[in-house]
Structure 1
Amino acid sequence: MDVLVLIGRILFSALFLSSAVGHMTQTKAMACYASSRGVPAPAPAVLGGGVLLLAGGLSVLLGVWADLGALLLVVFLVPTAVLMHAFWKETEPQARQMEMAHFQKDMALAGAALMLLGLIAHAGGDLGLTLTGPLFDIG
């Protein structure tokens, strides 16, 4: 079970860590896009999002308070889904469908991160192959 959970953490965090790199290295371009979607203070939002992605992704990957890391990913994913992928505002069917798919992907990832938070906070010490136990205790 320990190895299975570790592989899952690696696969799950890879998406967020690669996205964090994009947020940190392509801030200007991403801020322009965020601005076009109506995100307030787009440059700080992009950098803040990058910090959440990096901290959350590394926390889950390394197993350092991975429950907190999962929560940080939820804090990134839900506002991103609502602000960046507001499919209900789209009038063109293809754009609406594309934004709906991105919205649903972000919400599904947020759900997975919430499940991970619950699993780690409940049984974190028993999962093994982590550097620390959970920060939260909902046992």
Structure 2
Amino acid sequence: MTGVPDCPGGERRLLGGSDGYSHLDRAAAFCGAVSGIGLRALHQAEDDGQLRRKPWGAGSEFLVVATGVQMAVGSLMVALGVWPDLGALILFLFLIPTAFWMHAFWKESEPRNRAMEQVQFYKDLALAGAALVMFAAFAALGHDIGPVITGPLFNVR
């Protein structure tokens, strides 16, 4: 495959490779960020006061737990290379609605809350963009991307 240099040890690396980081290193860093969000969401499920202040209201702990599990599963799929394109797509499909529904900073009247929600909104959009790029890379490059367990589910070659 052109454009993907061979690295020491014969491993092919994506997105340059000259910096010594493989796609697995990058995927692990990305998944660590998303998993951190999921763990915080699961932790918030225990704080009823926090849930009452969010748009979904009280009594929806199941929704918080379900989305935390969704983030964990998607992150593990990407990091372990088990249908990594599907894992990235799961994360993308979670992050876009979350940004607009959960972090609607334009609805906040208090400046401090507005600023905090704006940061979370743009963070979710940035992570969604990264997930979309990872989906496209996994789906387009297939097994050429490097060591994966199952390879991609989708093929866009």
Tell whether the 8 Å contact from 1:35 to 1:42 is kept in structure 2 after alignment. no
Bigger mean CA deviation after superposition, 119-128 or 76-85: 76-85
Q: Percent identity, aligned pairs only?
A: 40
Structure 1 segments of 4 or more deviating over 6 A?
A: none
8 Å CA contact 2:82, 2:148 repeated in 1: yes
TM-score, structure 2 as length reference: 0.79
Q: Is the 8 A contact 1:39 1:83 kept in 2?
A: no
* 1:33 to 2:50 alignment: yes
1:62 is aligned to 80
Using CA pairs under 8 Å that are at least 6 residues apart, name the structure with larger relative contact order, 1 or 2. Answer: 1
1:113 counterpart (131, 136, 139)? 131
2:110 matched residue in structure 1 = 92
Q: When the two structures are superposed, what TM-score results if normalisation uses the length of structure 1?
A: 0.88
Deviation at 1:42, TM superposition (A): 2.4
Q: Is the 8 A contact 1:78 1:107 kept in 2?
A: yes
Which runs of no fewer than 5 residues in structure 1 stay unpaired? Answer: none
Q: Structure 2: state its 5+ residue gaps.
A: 1-12, 15-20
- How far did 1:24 drift? 4.2
Q: 1: CA distance between counterparts of 2:90 and 2:49? A: 24
Q: Deviations over 1:1-59 (max 9, x none)?
A: 15521110110111222333444455322x64243222166212101111111110100
Aligned partners of 1:37 and 1:28: how far apart in 2?
14
The count of corresponding residues between Structure 1 and Structure 2 is: 138
Q: CA RMSD in A?
A: 1.9
Match of 1:11 in 2: 29
CA distance in 2, matches of 1:46, 1:74: 17
Higher radius of gyration, 1 or 2 = 2
